[in-house]
Amino acid sequence: MPVPTFWRRSEVSIAAMSFRRKTILGIALIEAALLLILVGTGLSFMHQSNEQELIKRATTTATLFATTTKNAVLATDLASLESFVHEVMKNSGLVYARVRDMDGMVLAQAGDTAALTRPFTADQEVDDATDGVLDTYAEIRVAGTTYGRVELGLSIREIYEALATARQWVTVIAVMEMGLVAMFSFVLGTWLTRQLRSLKQAAEQVAGGDLGFQVPVKGRDELAQTAKAFNNMSHRLRHFNDELEQRVAQRTEELVQTQQQLQIDLERRRKMGEALRQEKQQQRELIRKLEQAHNQLLQSEKLASIGQLAAGVAHEINNPVGYISSNLGTLEEYQQDLFQVLDVYESLEPLLQYEDGALQRIHEIKQAVRLDHLRQDVRDLLEESQQGVTRVRQIVEDLKDFSHTDEGEWAQADLHQGLESTLNIVSNEIKYKAEMIKEYGELPLVFCQAPQLNQVFMNLLVNAAQAIEVHGVITLRTGSEQDWVWVEISDTGQGIAPEHLKHIFDPFFTTKPVGSGTGLGLSLSYGIVEAHGGRIDVDSKLGKGTRFRVWLPVRQGTEDRREAVG
């Protein structure tokens, strides 16, 4: 069931009230309630007792007055009665006094005229005295016989005045009391709240991070105990915090160590990976070398078989080429002789004029065979044949060289010297085609077959010159690296097409027009360099140029040398 709004609001406002105000308010309320009850009951009690007192006094006074006046009434002594009446009126609070005989006749009276003129009605209670006078009477009796009565009127104003005074006093005292209590509760509230405030400040201090903060403890009351509990809590908080920090530091340290370990592991893994990669690289290199070796083996197998073939062919061709060449020489001489004879005949032609028909026939034959043309053509044909034979001889010579790459003298040689003499031989081929640049390095003496190597250098130089179409540069470089020397011949020629590159060392591979290349130069060179335990590297860019680098070992392995020499 929902709580009514006004109640909730007041609840909230009470909750929002300061502790001191609540204390003051609470005490004031209690005080006011208590005072209300006290004053109420006190005043009502006072009222009652005053009324009873008045009635009692009225009765007593009336009885006493009756006794006093008894004799005078019996004797009808009016003078005494008069004096008694006046005497009794001296009592304070009496409004009137009257004495009547048994018939109700007034014997004597005194007091307030207005009160005396009113008809007498006895009041039983103070409340009955509506005219402000309590009317009472007492009968004068002697031995059971009534001789008369006294009537008295007592003012009730006095008790009301007394009550008013009393109420005034009570009010003053109550106000003073409330003032004192308010002051006291203010002081108490202030004192309590001060303690509480210091506790609150301390709590804020702790909340702000000042763990272990202590509040001063005074006395042994509940507040002091609360302060003590607070101090204890603060102290323990600090303790826990310290412990926590220590633990965090420890954990951090552990984490750092773990991280370092991880780092180390990672580094080790990385190194392992690196090593593996290197190993893989080495394997790849090894595979590449194996492939190369395999190719070289194939190449040398090919070369060896072709070498044998070439040796046989060369031998077989050499003979006929020999006699064709010498026959051609002889034929040229004969042809010259024959033309000489013909010249003589021609000079004698005029003498044949008269011999009819003979000259005619000679002219006809001369025209039929086109003698003038024939004279020239025979010369050309012979010259061409001679050139052809020379070429065949050259090829045969190359073939012979090719089949005898592992023959020759082994000795320590200066490669620069060999290069220079080779350059002299090929200078004719080169000088119109290219500028020669020489960049010689330091070279040790190399154990080799010098003439064979010169053959290699020559082939490379001639190829370089032939690769240059109009004019270019040929660069000759040398150098050494540990136990190896190298000779490099590079040109600015047409370059080698990638698809040709793997064939250039094949015997009879040539891209040159028929008649100008045999295709044996590089395969021959390959064989020679291989016989020296070296290798040839090629690097070429189509349209830019080509670079051949011949690597040779400075020394030959003992067995190789023995084998080579033997």
Ligand X SMILES: Nc1ncnc2c1ncn2[C@@H]1O[C@H](COP(=O)(O)OP(=O)(O)O)[C@@H](O)[C@H]1O
Q: How many CA atoms lie within 13 A of 378 on its CB side?
A: 16
Quick one: 390 or 511, whose CB is closer to ligand X?
511
CB atoms within 10 A of CB 204: 11
Tell me how far apart the 2 most distant CA atoms of the chain are, in Å.
256
Quick one: 314 or 504, whose CB is closer to Mg ion?
504
Cβ 474 vs Cβ 437: under 8 Å:
yes
Pairing of strands 411-413, 434-439: unpaired
Would the CA dihedral through 53, 59, 62, 67 be positive or negative? negative
Quick one: 167 or 500, whose CB is closer to ligand X?
500
* Residue 507 found at the interface with Mg ion (CB under 5 A): no
Contacts for 455 with CB less than 8 Å, ≥ 6 apart: 401, 524, 525, 528
* Residue 496 found at the interface with ligand X (CB under 6 A): yes
- Classified as helix, coil or strand, 194 is helix
* Residue 491 found at the interface with ligand X (CB under 6 A): yes
Binding string, 546-565, against ligand X, x = CB under 6 A? x-------------------
Binding partner at 510 among Mg ion, ligand X, none, C-beta below 5 to 8 Å by kind: ligand X
Of 224-232, 326-334, 394-402, 514-522: span binding Mg ion (CB under 5 A): 514-522
Site size for Mg ion, by CB under 5 A?
A: 2
Report the alpha-carbon distance of residue 61 to residue 273 in Å, rounded: 135
Of these, 441, 451, 519, 533, which contacts ligand X (CB under 6 A)? Answer: 519
Quick one: 56 or 502, whose CB is closer to ligand X?
502
* Residue 463 found at the interface with Mg ion (CB under 5 A): yes
Report the alpha-carbon distance of residue 379 to residue 382 in Å, rounded: 5
Of 84-92, 371-379, 427-435, 515-523: span binding ligand X (CB under 6 A): 515-523
- Classified as helix, coil or strand, 473 is strand
Rounded to a whole number, what is the distance in angstroms from the first to the last CA of the chain? 125
Binding partner at 212 among ligand X, Mg ion, none, C-beta below 5 to 8 Å by kind: none
Quick one: 467 or 531, whose CB is closer to ligand X?
467
Question: What is the smallest separation between the CB atom of 493 and ligand X, expressed in angstroms?
Answer: 5
Binding partner at 195 among Mg ion, ligand X, none, C-beta below 5 to 8 Å by kind: none
Please report, as a single letter, which amino acid is at residue 509.
F
Q: What is the dihedral of CA 433, 439, 442, 444, to 10 degrees?
A: -10
- Classified as helix, coil or strand, 268 is helix
Site size for ligand X, by CB under 6 A?
A: 22
Of these, 418, 493, 527, 534, which contacts ligand X (CB under 6 A)? Answer: 493
Of these, 459, 475, 478, 492, which contacts ligand X (CB under 6 A)? Answer: 459
* Residue 528 found at the interface with ligand X (CB under 6 A): no
Of 19-27, 354-362, 519-527, 554-562: span binding ligand X (CB under 6 A): 519-527
Binding partner at 201 among Mg ion, ligand X, none, C-beta below 5 to 8 Å by kind: none
Quick one: 96 or 548, whose CB is closer to Mg ion?
548
Task: Return the structure tokens found at 319.
Answer: 């003979």
Of 186-194, 320-328, 418-426, 492-500: span binding ligand X (CB under 6 A): 492-500
Residue reference for tokens 């965090």 = 248
Question: What is the smallest separation between the CB atom of 490 and ligand X, expressed in angstroms?
Answer: 8
Quick one: 109 or 523, whose CB is closer to ligand X?
523
Report the alpha-carbon distance of residue 434 to residue 352 in Å, rounded: 62
CB atoms within 10 A of CB 153: 26
Binding partner at 491 among Mg ion, ligand X, none, C-beta below 5 to 8 Å by kind: ligand X
DSSP state of 112: -
Of these, 251, 511, 542, 543, which contacts ligand X (CB under 6 A)? Answer: 511
Write the CA distances from 45 to 123, 166, 167, 168, 345, integer angstroms.
21, 12, 12, 16, 202
Instruction: Give the footprint of Mg ion on residues 466-495 (CB under 5 A).
Output: none
* Residue 521 found at the interface with Mg ion (CB under 5 A): yes
CB atoms within 10 A of CB 288: 10
Residue reference for tokens 């006749």 = 105
Contacts for 360 with CB less than 8 Å, ≥ 6 apart: none
Question: What is the smallest separation between the CB atom of 316 and ligand X, expressed in angstroms?
Answer: 22
Report the alpha-carbon distance of residue 359 to residue 364 in Å, rounded: 9
Of these, 464, 485, 487, 529, which contacts ligand X (CB under 6 A)? Answer: 464
Query: Which residues are at the interface with ligand X (CB under 6 A)?
Result: 459, 463-464, 467, 491, 493-494, 496, 500, 504, 509-512, 517-523, 546
Q: Residues in the site for Mg ion, rule: CB under 5 A? A: 463, 521
